[in-house]
């Protein structure tokens, strides 16, 4: 059997989506327990404060990281595939040298820009000291990103999964006692301690495989310049994305207060995190595969369409269930004070249908190395998102932000699809159209049911829609994998 063909099969895509999605699912469960406890201890305003600090720190981290966490993976993976152990060890020293440089630079810049971050992020009080105290987090994120890139490039997937689980457990163990005893005063210490724990776990595993060696740092700086140049476009894209999130949360904070920021963040995180179980395999498995066939239009189209089909079939029943169950899940996962965000999260969940279709296509731009085009497309999306959120909230309040999220993903899909069609001759398969026409009406029907006030009709119709969506996906996946396995056995037998 042709190896390239096997990597486009439903069985392959399902296998790796299941593996990485399973780890992500466990992390989500632990994270939801933590969010529930933190929400009870801090309330919406406290959650809003956490969101504002995290958005600002993420922005500073991405602005100063030089894209090493992405570009380093590509370089190490290429060397790893060649089996050049000495070159791997040498390049790891280059990554660690540049990670240290970006860590020190990011930490210093965050401290210096503390007054500006305070004025821009908050409409009340002076939070300069908070940002100065949080500046080490930027440095720790840079070190963690470099070591994580090493593990990804060297295919240490089991270690990466273990680190993720340990980090989520550590965040739970650290945050709950601190918030219990200190309330909102413990937010800055918790962010610091969680970042420190994450870095410690990552370093522990990375140094176990590749011990730290410090020598010849001056020459290593020069050798790392190609990697740095490759990461610049991704840095700019990350800055725009984080900047857009900061602008949205700052707008909501100034316009309506911390409670609304906390509610919006809860709805956004729940929707995006839930869907992340399906999307988690994209970067680890799908991106390297589509990169390897980027010169073959037919193979690229096949691989992209298969990824969209599987993503859409898996995520659709999950989204239908989420939309219908949110009135129960939101108070259960957070607290009853977060009930106002249910309607926003229900309409925002519809956006994930369109993300399931747009994300595999977006990776084609990266696979071709068109970082400038990727930056332009992502910047256009960020601008649309901010404008739609501002308009949506001004017109309809919190639910308007959910409508804005869905509209932004619809427009993003149209934009990315048009570009890929013209630039890379990408064509949507008939199966993608069929599955989208099957699952999208069921998803929108699930949302329509949420407006029914009669409880037994709500439950009855909701159950029918969820079962129909799940049964349709299960039947199609079973049929596809069954046919593939029969073909595979026949080819092996003939071979």
Model confidence pLDDT, tens digit, residues 388-433: 999 999 999 999 999 999 999 999 999 999 999 999 999 999 999 9
The separation between the first and the last C-alpha atoms of the chain, rounded to the nearest angstrom, is 8
Task: Give yes or no for a contact between 258 and 45, defined as CB atoms under 8 angstroms apart.
Answer: yes
Please give the pLDDT value at position 287.
Answer: 67
Model confidence pLDDT, tens digit, residues 292-308: 677 789 888 998 998 89
Please give the pLDDT value at position 422.
Answer: 95
Q: How many CB atoms lie within 10 A of CB 220?
A: 17
Please give the pLDDT value at position 407.
Answer: 96
Please give the pLDDT value at position 410.
Answer: 96
In sequence order, what are the residues at sequence separation of 6 or more whose Cβ sits closer than 8 angstroms to the Cβ of residue 135?
106, 107, 108, 110, 111, 114
pTM for this predicted structure: 0.73
Please give the pLDDT value at position 2.
Answer: 46
Alpha-carbon distance of 229 to 246, in angstroms, equals 26
Phi and psi torsions of 212, nearest 5°: -70, 130
Instruction: Pick out the chain residues at pLDDT < 70.
Output: 1-28, 31-32, 74, 77-78, 81-82, 121, 123-125, 214-227, 229-231, 273, 280-285, 287-289, 291-292, 369, 482-495
Please give the pLDDT value at position 3.
Answer: 44
Please give the pLDDT value at position 7.
Answer: 47
Model confidence pLDDT, tens digit, residues 70-125: 777 767 766 776 677 888 888 888 888 888 989 999 999 988 988 888 777 675 66
Please give the pLDDT value at position 8.
Answer: 47
Category of 216 on φ-ψ map: left (φ > 0), alpha (ψ -120 to 50) or beta: left
């Amino acid at each position: 059997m042709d190896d390239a063909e096997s990597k486009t099969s439903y069985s392959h895509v399902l296998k790796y989506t299941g593996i990485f999605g399973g780890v992500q699912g466990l992390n989500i469960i632990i994270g939801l327990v933590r969010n529930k406890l933190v929400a009870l201890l801090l309330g919406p305003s406290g959650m809003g404060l956490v969101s504002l600090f995290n958005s600002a720190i993420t922005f500073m981290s991405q602005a100063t990281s030089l894209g090493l966490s992405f570009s380093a993976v590509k370089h190490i993976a290429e060397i790893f595939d060649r089996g050049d152990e000495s070159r791997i060890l040498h390049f790891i020293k280059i990554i660690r040298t540049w990670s240290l440089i970006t860590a020190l630079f990011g930490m210093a810049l965050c401290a210096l820009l503390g007054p500006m971050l305070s004025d821009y992020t908050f409409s009340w009080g002076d939070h300069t000291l908070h940002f100065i105290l949080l500046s080490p987090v930027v440095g720790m994120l840079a070190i963690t990103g470099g070591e994580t890139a090493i593990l990804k490039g060297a295919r240490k997937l089991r270690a990466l999964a273990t680190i993720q689980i340990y980090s989520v457990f550590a965040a739970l163990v650290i945050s709950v006692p601190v918030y219990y005893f200190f309330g909102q005063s413990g937010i800055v210490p918790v962010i610091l301690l969680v970042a420190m724990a994450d870095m410690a776990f990552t370093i522990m595993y990375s140094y176990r495989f590749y011990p730290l060696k410090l020598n010849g740092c001056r020459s290593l700086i020069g050798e790392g310049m190609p990697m740095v140049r490759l990461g610049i476009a991704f840095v700019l894209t990350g800055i725009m994305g984080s900047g857009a999130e900061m602008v949205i949360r700052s707008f909501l904070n100034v316009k309506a207060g911390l409670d609304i920021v906390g509610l919006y963040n809860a709805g956004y995180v729940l929707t995006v995190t839930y869907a992340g179980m399906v999307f988690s395999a994209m970067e680890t498995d799908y991106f390297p595969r589509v990169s390897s066939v980027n010169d073959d239009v037919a193979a690229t189209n096949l691989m992209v369409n298969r990824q969209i089909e599987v993503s859409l079939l898996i995520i659709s029943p999950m989204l239908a269930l989420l939309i219908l169950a949110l009135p129960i899940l939101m108070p259960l996962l957070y607290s009853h004070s977060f009930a106002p965000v249910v309607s926003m999260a229900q309409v925002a969940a519809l956006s994930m249908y369109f993300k399931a279709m747009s994300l595999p296509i977006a990776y084609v731009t990266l696979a071709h190395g068109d970082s400038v085009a990727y930056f332009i497309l992502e910047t256009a999306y960020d601008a649309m998102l901010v404008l739609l959120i501002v308009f949506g909230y001004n017109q309809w309040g919190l639910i308007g932000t959910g409508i804005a999220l869905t509209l932004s993903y619809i427009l993003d899909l149209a934009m990315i699809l048009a570009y890929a069609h013209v630039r890379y001759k990408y064509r949507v398969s008939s199966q993608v159209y069929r599955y989208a026409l099957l699952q999208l009406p069921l998803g929108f029907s699930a949302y329509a049911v949420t407006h029914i006030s009669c409880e037994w009709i709500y439950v009855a119709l909701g159950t029918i829609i969820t079962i129909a969506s799940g049964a349709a996906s299960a039947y199609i996946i079973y049929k596809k994998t069954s046919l593939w396995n029969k073909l595979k056995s026949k080819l092996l037998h003939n071979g």
